[in-house]
Amino acid sequence: MNEEQNRDSAPRILCVDDEPNILSSLRRLFRTKGYQVLTANGGHEGLAVLETENVDLVISDMRMPVMDGAVFLEHVRARWPDTIRLLLTGFSDVQSIIDAINRGEIYRYIAKPWDDNDIVLVVRQALERKALEREKQRLEELTQRQNEELKALNASLESKVEERTAELRRAHESLLHVNEKLKNSFLTSIKVFSNVIEMRGGKLAGHTRRVADLARKIARKLGLEAREVQEIFVAGLLADIGKIGFSDELLATPVSQLNSEQLGQFHKHTVRAEQLLMPLEDLQATAKILRSQHERFDGLGFPDGLKDTDIPLGARILALASDYDNLQIGSLVPRRLHPDDAQAVILRGAGNRYDEKVVAAFKHVASNSVDDIEEVELTVTKLRPDMVLAADIITKEGILLLPADHVLDQHLIDKLKLYDTSGGAKLTARIREHRRK
């Protein structure tokens, strides 16, 4: 009886594809993970299933006859907006991806051929986020309901008022906690998504996280508000999202050696990045930063030829942080520069390529190795439960294992130890320590 109840309560996934072998692979993969799996051979059949079954998440192929994935997911969004929508597609279908994002408001797209572990992780994160949103809504409704009850209480019932106030405080604290978890989940999703480009080229491993970290430090040095610092950090993580359709050859070629046709493609990636993020309301400021990340302070950049302070400050910061790392990994010029040489190039660009005040902040950050937060670096064998990560744990291939601010437990520590002994390269973790008073 318990097994039957568990099956009934398990999340339900609908897989839509016109290829039976794809449906069989997805059904076999997710059933072994404990999910209930429904299948449909096309868009019309998928809509028919949704009319009779409660479905938590839909995975649809892009290229299908009669009704393609973009149209199908548009119908799903209109009729079942709470159902999470994922799209299966290839790296070459950039315009199709944009259409699907704009029409179906998809949560994430997954490149074919997929990695089983990656697609399972995407689905798990999507369902966890949906559960958090439901809990957030429940707590908001609870707070509203209790507020209405509080208004109806008689002023003389002081003890009753105190009791209700305590309940409201607990509900409010829970709501804040859920909101914080949602924000962390959103940021972790962005970090995982930023791995897509990096996994296609060895020299790109860890590139966007280094750029995002440097951009965040420069923004803090300039005294920007926390919200602006976060927007710039996210822009750093997504700096290369517009290159999602680039060929491997184009990704591997330094910018200085691109021919005219390749340069034309390269110049479009900032506009494409803005288009990809356009449907996401929370990322509008980030989208503007990405569009202008290759503008120059002297007005000779692209795509809009903006000059001076007409360029968003976040874009001016991202341009410097990105160039500094690209000079060291050989993405701008064939020769990889030493950090000191790369810094010298940046300093020479003050006033023409870069904003002078941004360069000044970068110079201070580069020369100051002491962090504002007290941290210690430990091997995984020295990790203990309840320790808090001060930085992302990244593999040598640039893959994110755990995000910054994650609280460790024994289960995660055991997994890290297992990876450490089998991965061939020793892992370390930066831990945030409490300052001694």
Q: pTM for this structure?
A: 0.54
What is the pLDDT at residue 268?
93
Distance, CA of 174 to CA of 166 (rounded, Å): 12
* Distance from the first to the final alpha carbon of the chain: 56
In a domain, 120, yes or no: no
Claim to verify: residue 183 and residue 107 sit in the same structural domain:
no
Distance, CA of 26 to CA of 88 (rounded, Å): 11
pLDDT along the chain (437 residues), means of 10: 60 94 94 95 95 94 88 92 88 65 74 88 90 88 83 63 73 62 54 57 69 92 90 88 83 90 92 84 88 96 95 97 93 90 95 96 82 71 85 69 76 83 76 58
Spatial neighbors of 254 by CB under 8 A, at least 6 apart, are 330, 331, 332, 333, 334
Tally of domains within the chain: 4
Q: Residues 164-204: pLDDT tens digits?
A: 777 777 776 766 555 555 455 555 556 555 555 555 555 56
Q: Residues 324-350: pLDDT tens digits?
A: 999 998 899 888 999 999 999 999 999
Distances in Å between the Cα of 355 and the Cα atoms of 57, 138, 267, 346 are 46, 47, 21, 10
Distance, CA of 294 to CA of 300 (rounded, Å): 9
Distance, CA of 192 to CA of 117 (rounded, Å): 13
What is the pLDDT at residue 437?
38
Claim to verify: residue 211 and residue 320 sit in the same structural domain:
yes
CATH number, domain containing residue 393: 3.90.105
Claim to verify: residue 241 and residue 277 sit in the same structural domain:
yes
Facing residues of 330 across strands? none
User: Which burial class, exposed, middle or buried, applies to 276 when counting CB atoms under 10 A from its CB (0-12, 13-18, 19+)?
Assistant: buried
What is the pLDDT at residue 24?
95
Claim to verify: residue 252 and residue 401 sit in the same structural domain:
no
Spatial neighbors of 414 by CB under 8 A, at least 6 apart, are none
Claim to verify: residue 235 and residue 351 sit in the same structural domain:
yes
Structural domain boundaries, residue 179: 126-190
Claim to verify: residue 325 and residue 240 sit in the same structural domain:
yes
Burial pattern 142-162, b for ≥16 Cβ within 10 A else e, equals bbeebeeeeeeeeeeeeeeee
Residue 394 DSSP SS3: strand
- Chain centroid to CA 240: how far? 12
Claim to verify: residue 98 and residue 160 sit in the same structural domain:
no
Distance, CA of 422 to CA of 399 (rounded, Å): 16
Q: Where are the beta strands (DSSP E) in 62-136?
A: 84-89, 108-111
In a domain, 196, yes or no: no
User: Among all chains, which residue has been given the structure tokens 């072994």?
Assistant: 32
Rg of the chain over CA atoms, in angstroms?
24
What is the pLDDT at residue 413?
87
What is the pLDDT at residue 63?
87
What is the pLDDT at residue 411?
83
The residue type found at 137 is Q
